[in-house]
Structure 1
Amino acid sequence: MTRILLAFSLLLFTPFFLLSQVEPTDAKSILEGIENRKKLAESSVLKNYPARNVGPVIQGARIVDIAVNQNNIKEFYIAYATVGVFHKKNNAKRYVQIFDNVGALTLGDIALAPSDENILYVGTGENNSSRSSYAGSGIYKSTDKGQSWEHIGLPGSQHIGRIVVHPEDPNTVWVASMGGLYSDNEERGVYKTTDGGETWNKTLYVDDKTGAIDLIIHPENPDLLWASMWERKRYAWDFVGNGEGSGIYSSTDGGENWNLSMNGMEDDEFTGRIGLDISQSNPDILYALIDYQKETKKEKEEQEGLAPADFLEMSVKDFLKLNNEDLDQYLKDNSFPEKYNAVNVKKDIESGAYKPKALSDYLGDANQALFDTDVKGSVI
């Protein structure tokens, strides 16, 4: 009897536990977790016995950015979405991992100071928005080409879109922060520091759903900057990659103030991610690649026989007028069970057993519905 009551109690209360939502991890907890992991490594009895990877050693990863030393183009840094930063010197055949002891391997962007090749800034948290795009813990800085790192802030940014360093002052930096992927937060927009990351000011903010995804600077006048904002939200079952918050903003005072600059471009709730670039030879020319998600009407293609789309809005009266040979061919081509032939299906439709639309729904393809939707897409 006791077991029966216990089982009944579990059935009664389990749904309430299942319905309770898990709170998102805040920035403070993420940083505390990194520090606790370092302390555990330092106190481990195995700390003097480093682990060695014995294979398999082939591992793919997304490259999110490459920073090249302009004084020596044979030296560069590669930032990966999931495995940190690798450094290549001159003609060396080996790429050296220089970011694996920091506490965050997921990266959004990397920037080398143009005026000091020893200073490197890394923004953690991949800026793409797939289910496998994991959050980071803010901005890190190195003053010795990646030999050591210092966390310099913005832990709530979660995903970094872009880092731009002033061409003459390595301590002046602008950061495009995307903010949370699955949750709303205010740590999004464009941030600026003039003291190498000791303090940060948020100079461009739209709302708690819209983050900064790209940022460019005029090659001859560092007071001129452009930033693209992206409204997006991911769910476990869906992704919304566009919204009214998306747009391009410009600044004429070094990123202190910003104005919306979307004249002549798509600017509505269908505007999605925007990529920016500027011509180095003619800085008056800027390029914007807009992911525009407005659906377009598909021109009806000439076809032989019946197609699933034909049944979506077909009336019973029109269905009963279909040629039996054409209907039989459709049922055969789409692998309907043998009992469904033109004569039997027409009887079912006429009796109200199901509607003509069912002959399309039977072939329902969730992937096709998701990816075979005609939208305007990329607009330059």
Structure 2
Amino acid sequence: MPACSRVRLAPRFRLTTQERDRDVVRSVLPPHTGVPGWCLSLAQRLWVLPALALMTVPRPAAAQETEQILGRMEYERMRLYSGAERNLAVLLQSALRQKRAMPPGGILPMALVDTRWRALGPDRVNTNGVFTAGRVSTVAIHPTDMNILYAGGAQGGVWRSDDAGANWRPLTDQECSLAMGSIAIDPVNPDIIYAGTGEQHFSGDSYYGCGVLRSLDAGETWEQQGVQQFVNKSERSGGARIARVVIDRATAGSATSTTVLAASTFGLFRSTNSGLTWSLVLDGLATDLVVHPTDPSTMYAALYGNGVYKSTNTGLSWTHTSTGMNLDIARRINLAIAPSSPDILYASFQTGESKGDGLTMYRTANGGTSWQELPATGASCYYQCWYDMTIAVHPSNPQTVYFGSLRLHRSVTGGQTFSLHHNGIYVDEHLLVFDTLRGANALYLANDGGVYRTINGGTSWTSLATNLAVAQYYRGIALHPSIAGITLGGTQDQGTQRSSPGTGVWQKIMGGDGGYTAFDVEDPSIWYAETQWIRGAGYAGPRKNGVLATRGIDNGERGLFIPPLVMDPIDSKRLYFGTRSLYRTDDSAERWERIYRTPDDGEVITSIGLTPSDENTVYAGVLRGQVIVTRDGGVTWQQSGSGLPDRFIGDVVVHPDDPEQAYAVAGGFLTGHVFHTVDGGRTWQDRTGNLPDHPVNAILYDPADLEGVFIGTDLGVFHSAAGGDSWDRLDEDLPTVAVYDLAAQPGTSRLVAATHGRGMFEIPIDVPLSVRVRPGAIVDSVLTTDTTAPRDVIVAPSGKEDYAATWQATSDVSWLVLTGGVGRG
């Protein structure tokens, strides 16, 4: 077993130049580049991700997708930075408990106004006639009814279809985690479902889990299990990610005595009481688990970098059975068993850089006693089997094998040769599942585009994306300046998308990972967007109507994976773009001019704040807790004064009427998340108040009441009517999911929230939020109608001298104007 002595950690946001250039850099990279799983905890992998992302060595074109994934990893690592030795999954669960204990406030239901969040979709995304949804990690088929399916989104939760995937509905919007890794349905009592949370794809944006969710009523309600084993262990990257959940067929059907196993990043766990308690039965990073089709006591497990193990007593004990495998090059491992010949198994190995494309495949014909390496000619990892890899064997022909990574391949020669079988499906394949109820050639596929089904062995595929709203939006959404219902947004791997009024079908208008967007308010037919920023890539940077517009921008500079791109609220021909430098264009992106450059290559612009009250005032957030300010259009710059934390500044917003006032928000789980300045950034005051301690990603002044602000966080949306003195949760019908951006459109009285896993949502904000409170709250004044009215209107709580209320009625209304209040009919 090789030594781990050369593993080193990056304590802050990046490695030094000297560390990057040493030949030991491969020892500090994430698992896809060669570090054995037993050497590095997932936490350590998370903190050294920038090593590869910052290197500028040219890579093959086939590795472009890997560059995107690595860029996302670095972006998320910086956004979530919380110091050393902190379990982020535990901290997030603590913040969730704090949130749930807060009284509901802000916009809440009243008799005559529907002020709940409403889903905007996308219900599906049209890419030149091919429909997609977003990243789906897992899919499960009902054991007796082929029309009932379950799917798990990367951060979209569990979904159910009752019509074979024609339509979907969410089941876990308010649960402890919407990041899904595996779903298992009890074969005896299909109303019992286990969902393993935490996406085990070794990607920085694979969000934390919260253990196992169990439902006893086909997904209508859920209970959390395994907190101690899957959440509370010390792990800086967060709780365990669960790759596979398996239910023992011999004991299935019980809510108290079924044996269940879960393969997780903390090891392989076993429960004999239907998930109520769990015990560790195999130590290591468990990446897969398969069961003998006729002997449920026989199981095979894969451990990252450590080969295959076999159990003949339903997982109670395990024997290493990897003879013939080269474990020196092994990293992630996936398994498939041949249902018609269960002594035949296939194992796909992600093998780092040692074999070029990083794929080695093995086959056993004697139940794991010995393994033979296969040529697997024609199959490829495309440099990213650490992120997406799946393998499956035909139910009646052990020679037919399907293998998916970036693309899907099929072998009819027992793994000797493979041919590309990627017909009309999206990339990044995560799971293959045969549907024997529908036929031997029926197969489901979960990938970065959603869920697909074939009934002819993959000759053709049907997209099952309708109503599967699992899009992962980034910062920088844009609302059409005059037409409600038209929105732009950039997504994870689903490009830049545009909505249209009256339909949930969005159009994909640009590829890659999308980012910030903007409409020209004077001519909305002109729009701006960007693809992900990869240092040195010729395709990266701002685009105008889809055409690259980067003249004057140095693409060799370091920048965020999703760099800020913001339009001036006064002059729509003027835009700002930030990498290491802050750039400005005054001619609609025909040419850009550098107006600021950070003194350190490790510092990048993270956010940009502008105000219609002064076109020369610009605020810009810088990576490690700085906000720089210019009042002369970029000629001179002021560094931020005291009060800001040394963390990621995700957003800056400037008061529309006063350029000396602004808010900045910080990521991570350390103290302090919302900060306010009244002196142009010279000093900052912490306005976090009673807000739960978790990352804040976006902030927006309430356009109906500039004393109020909205924030988007990793747990949804909050509102403060008094500039952060106190906060209310704003979550009626909003899933418990990370909100990356907020946008308001005063002309149409709506607030839009862009989530990273559940699409977009909107809520009306046509009157000040302080008047819309739940009946029963402490009030200053109560306005009542005559005795025929269905309810009271409550106007309060205290905090302002004046209130405004909107009342709708079918007949004349008489108003009682109270002291200090205003009635408006």
Pick one of 106, 116, 123 that aligns with 1:50.
Answer: 116
The TM-score normalised by the length of structure 1 is 0.62
**How far is 1:294 from its partner?**
5.3
Q: Are residues 1:263 and 2:323 paired?
A: yes
**How far is 1:24 from its partner?**
2.5
**How far is 1:264 from its partner?**
1.1
Determine helix, strand or coil for the equivalent of 2:332. strand
Q: Matches of 1:76 and 1:297 in 2, distance apart?
A: 38
Q: Are residues 1:164 and 2:242 paired?
A: no
Q: What CA deviation, in whole Å up to 9, does each residue of 1:107-159 have, x standing for no partner?
A: 11111111111000001111101222111111110000110000011324421
**How far is 1:297 from its partner?**
8.7
> Match for 2:330: what amino acid?
T
Q: Matches of 2:220 and 2:120 in 1, distance apart?
A: 25
Assess, with a 3 A threshold, how the Cα gap between structure 1 residues 54 and 96 changes in structure 2: closer, same or farther: closer
Q: What CA deviation, in whole Å up to 9, does each residue of 1:46-86 have, x standing for no partner?
A: 34342013466556422211110120011110111121111
Pick one of 252, 274, 282 that aligns with 1:196.
Answer: 274
> Match for 2:244: what amino acid?
R
Q: Matches of 2:340 and 2:273 in 1, distance apart?
A: 30
What are the residue-to-residue correspondences of 1:234-313 with 2, within 5 Å?
A: 245-268=305-328, 270-293=329-352, 295-296=354-355
The match for 1:106 is: 179
> Match for 1:261: what amino acid?
T
Pick one of 125, 130, 143 that aligns with 2:203.
Answer: 130
The match for 1:32 is: 94
Q: Matches of 1:97 and 1:20 in 2, distance apart?
A: 31
Q: Quote the sequence identity (%).
A: 30
Pick one of 214, 217, 226 that aligns with 2:288.
Answer: 214
What are the residue-to-residue correspondences of 1:307-322 with 2, within 5 Å?
A: none
> Match for 1:227: what amino acid?
A
Q: Matches of 1:253 and 1:56 in 2, distance apart?
A: 46
**How far is 1:103 from its partner?**
2.4
Pick one of 209, 214, 226 that aligns with 2:300.
Answer: 226
Q: Are residues 1:143 and 2:211 paired?
A: no
The match for 1:336 is: none
Q: What is the Cα-based RMSD across aligned positions, in Å? A: 2.7
What are the residue-to-residue correspondences of 1:18-29 with 2, within 5 Å?
A: 21-29=83-91
CA contact (8 A) 1:137 1:155 kept: yes
Number of equivalences: 254
Gaps of 5+ in 1: 1-18, 179-187, 231-244, 299-363, 367-380
> Match for 1:119: what amino acid?
I
Determine helix, strand or coil for the equivalent of 1:263. coil
> Match for 2:243: what amino acid?
G
Q: Matches of 1:259 and 1:92 in 2, distance apart?
A: 40
CA contact (8 A) 1:61 1:83 kept: no
CA contact (8 A) 1:193 1:200 kept: yes
Q: What CA deviation, in whole Å up to 9, does each residue of 1:240-260 have, x standing for no partner?
A: xxxxx4311111111111121
Determine helix, strand or coil for the equivalent of 2:101. helix
Q: Matches of 2:356 and 2:163 in 1, distance apart?
A: 53
Q: What CA deviation, in whole Å up to 9, does each residue of 1:147-206 have, x standing for no partner?
A: 00000113244211110011132321000011xxxxxxxxx1110001111111100004
Assess, with a 3 A threshold, how the Cα gap between structure 1 residues 55 and 108 changes in structure 2: closer, same or farther: closer
CA contact (8 A) 2:149 2:164 kept: no
CA contact (8 A) 1:174 1:191 kept: yes
> Match for 2:167: what amino acid?
R
Assess, with a 3 A threshold, how the Cα gap between structure 1 residues 20 and 96 changes in structure 2: closer, same or farther: closer
CA contact (8 A) 2:310 2:318 kept: yes
What are the residue-to-residue correspondences of 1:52-67 with 2, within 5 Å?
A: 52-54=118-120, 58=124, 60-67=133-140
Gaps of 5+ in 2: 1-80, 110-114, 126-132, 233-238, 253-257, 358-555, 559-825
Q: Matches of 1:297 and 1:107 in 2, distance apart?
A: 31
Q: Matches of 2:279 and 2:306 in 1, distance apart?
A: 21
Q: Matches of 2:122 and 2:185 in 1, distance apart?
A: 32
Query: Which is worse superposed, 63-72 or 140-149?
Result: 63-72
Q: Matches of 1:295 and 1:251 in 2, distance apart?
A: 30
Q: Larger relative contact order (C-alpha < 8 A, sep ≥ 6)? A: 2
Determine helix, strand or coil for the equivalent of 2:327. coil
The match for 2:501 is: none
Query: Which is worse superposed, 139-148 or 99-108?
Result: 99-108
**How far is 1:267 from its partner?**
1.4
Determine helix, strand or coil for the equivalent of 2:352. strand
Determine helix, strand or coil for the equivalent of 1:43. coil
Pick one of 142, 145, 155 that aligns with 1:69.
Answer: 142
> Match for 1:124: what amino acid?
T
CA contact (8 A) 1:111 1:120 kept: yes
Q: Matches of 1:285 and 1:51 in 2, distance apart?
A: 51
Q: Matches of 2:211 and 2:116 in 1, distance apart?
A: 28
Q: Matches of 1:110 and 1:92 in 2, distance apart?
A: 16
Q: Matches of 1:150 and 1:275 in 2, distance apart?
A: 29
The match for 1:155 is: 231
The match for 2:192 is: 119
The TM-score normalised by the length of structure 2 is 0.29
Assess, with a 3 A threshold, how the Cα gap between structure 1 residues 90 and 169 changes in structure 2: closer, same or farther: farther
> Match for 1:259: what amino acid?
T
